[in-house]
Amino acid sequence: MSINYKEKLLTLKIATVLGSILASISMTALSAEPQVLPTLPNGCVDIAPTSLPNTSSTDAKINMSASVFPPLALQVRSFVEPSVFASGGRHFLIYELDLQNYAEAPMNLQKIEILGLDQGTAKTITTLDSQQLNAMLRPTGVDYWQYHAHPHVDANRQLQGGRSAIAFLCLAFNARAVIPTSLVHRVVLEDGVVDAPALAVHRDVPVFGPPLMGADWVARNGPHLDSHHRMGMVVFDGLAQNARRFAIDWRKFKNGQQYEGDARDVHSYFAYGEKIVAVADGVVVKSVDQFPDNIPKTKEGFDLALPLTRENLGGNFVIIALANGQFAQYFHMRPGSVRVKPGDRVKRGQLIGQVGNSGDSRWPHLHFQLGNKPDMFATEGLPFVIDHFRMKDLDGTWSERRSELPWGDETVIDFGDDHLKPSAKTNTKTKK
């Protein structure tokens, strides 16, 4: 990192203090709840207000000691502390638990109780039963695609000695529910109980402008169990990380189709060549504009323009350092379209490139994610929300949404064309 870049980033941090403050309080108010809530994504557990912790409860405080002696040799840890974000009339917490069996003998997982902790008092929020665990648990040492086809540990959730499994968790809170300040995970085994250390819940999700302009966008491969993004734990630089935890593949559809004409011509796709814009003020730290587009995937097959390497996996891309120490990352851009270079300062809404089909991309789309480091995979994926957009609800009406993350493979989004300022519009319902 050059001195020049550091100076620019320091100037940027000072200039965007107000934006940071707004981001820190982004969750003080949730968008008005849609009349028809979107279907709960696969793998998410619905949390009703009546099941939430009550700080005045007389429930006993959590006993953090092991329930048996010697204590069960099960390590329970999280890769990141969860942050609350809003989407479609709900609040979400999305995170993982790494379950490591340090004993020689196998452990049979029965259930996981999730407790909300406020001021030392706890109450059960939800219990993940055997059927839910079968869907949420992914054992390590198993090929991803094999696991994706058969998503379970085994018939009785047995964790072999010296092995580990990752539980991919998603808690969906009713919009009116109070979310606890911390979570405790009680793992119930056949031979005892393990209480994991309390996990803090954060409310510092950043508020951005949209990464694209216009209408007919669909947020594919969001953070649900059917998505290769969500389940994509990758080891880079000696660390297991989930860079794509909140990544979105933005594709464009009209009348249920993403192209018109020749399916093998990238120019036939509605998303191809669409404008990509900066979601916030920042400084460009990386950009690449040298890789060709792939011929889109069809029923006849799919051939990459180049053999995949770490360097070209994201295709042509731009990574922008933001004032809060996070990095906005854009991938698979059109060759020759990248408008910025490292060291450039960009403003929210500024054109930085166009949608393409470069790198590991089968159809023209924008892969957008937020990370804590400037790398496509060697980073932890972080949540974010978009300050204003229109969303097509299940009843066919459109609603104005504010400070939410649009996700859901069939959710239709209209970003409009005004990206320079957060919208002052309120949430309203309109007909088709």
Question: Domain check: are 215 and 123 in the same one?
Answer: no
Number of domains in the chain: 2
Question: Domain check: are 269 and 409 in the same one?
Answer: yes
User: Which residue range(s) make up the domain with 145?
Assistant: 36-200
54 pLDDT higher than 90: no
Question: Domain check: are 236 and 368 in the same one?
Answer: yes
Q: Whole-model pTM? A: 0.85
CATH code of 233's domain = 2.70.70.10
Distance of alpha carbon 400 from alpha carbon 403, whole angstroms? 10
Confidence band of 39 (pLDDT split at 50, 70, 90) = confident
Minimum mean pLDDT range among 14-28, 129-143, 260-274: 14-28
Question: Domain check: are 252 and 326 in the same one?
Answer: yes
Question: Domain check: are 143 and 236 in the same one?
Answer: no
Model pLDDT for residues 328-363, shown as the tens digit of each residue: 999 999 999 999 999 999 999 999 999 999 999 999
Residue finishing a domain among 165, 182, 200: 200
388 within a domain of the structure (yes/no): yes
Model pLDDT for residues 57-86, shown as the tens digit of each residue: 334 445 544 456 778 999 999 999 999 999
> Interior CA angle at 161 toward 159 and 163, to 5°?
65
pLDDT of residue 82: 96
Question: Domain check: are 12 and 99 in the same one?
Answer: no
CATH code of 40's domain = 2.60.40.10
pLDDT of residue 147: 55
Question: Domain check: are 185 and 82 in the same one?
Answer: yes
Residue finishing a domain among 173, 200, 227: 200
Distance of alpha carbon 154 from alpha carbon 145, whole angstroms? 16
Minimum mean pLDDT range among 50-54, 56-60, 102-106, 153-157: 56-60
Radius of gyration of the chain (CA): 22
10 Å CB burial of residue 31 (0-12, 13-18, 19+) is: buried
pLDDT of residue 154: 53
Report yes or no: 49 and 177 within 8 Å, Cβ to Cβ.
yes
Question: Domain check: are 11 and 58 in the same one?
Answer: no
Model pLDDT for residues 9-24, shown as the tens digit of each residue: 444 444 443 344 333 3
431 within a domain of the structure (yes/no): no
Question: Domain check: are 155 and 232 in the same one?
Answer: no
- Which is higher by pLDDT, 121 or 198? 198
